[in-house]
Amino acid sequence: MNTRVPFSVRTVVLASALGLVPALCSCAPGSGRSSPNDSPARVEVRDNGAARRESNAASIHYLEIVTPKVEETCGVLARIYDVRFGDPVAEAGNARTANLKDGGRIGVRAPMHAGESAVVRPYVLVQDIEAAVREAEASGGVVIVPPMPIGEQGVIAIYFLGGIEHGVWQR
């Protein structure tokens, strides 16, 4: 019997969608760019105990933090991760963003309306956002933001699945 185990912490985070997100992602690790021939990294554990690595790990393109304490959050993250947050970006809901060493970005913003709760939401690069949304819905996900262009940065969508908010991003 073969058992598939996530290879990296990133893939473990993505596996929270019951394996849905890793199957949809095609990202080169550390590059922040997708490639049609890449797929998530996994270790296949075989009956004889041997393990082998398959393909590449999916990466989080953008980690969004929504909090009423934007300045405090940016301050602690800047010190912990040695990053510099820029001025608010209108296309990102006035988030202050910082580039991460692995090619991803982190954004911290205040809630945009009274009904928006504090949340940490990873956005994973996908090749086909429409297909990703259809797959999420077919798996019981509820789309709360259908594919929506965000300026020249790409197209995003957000869905709920298993009590968790998931984001997908297509460049």
Mean pLDDT, the chain cut into blocks of 10 residues (171 residues total): 34 31 34 37 45 55 97 97 96 96 94 96 96 97 97 96 96 92
Task: Mention every residue, 6+ apart, whose C-beta is less than 8 A from residue 25.
Answer: 14, 34, 39, 40, 58, 59, 124, 125, 126
Q: What is the pLDDT of residue 44?
A: 46
The whole-angstrom separation of Cα 99 and Cα 27 is 17
Q: What is the pLDDT of residue 65?
A: 98
In contact, 63 and 107? CB cutoff 8 Å: yes
Q: Write down the pTM of the prediction.
A: 0.67
Q: What is the pLDDT of residue 154?
A: 96
Looking up tokens 């929506």 gives 148
The token pair that represents 93 in the structure block: 């809901």
Q: What is the pLDDT of residue 57?
A: 56
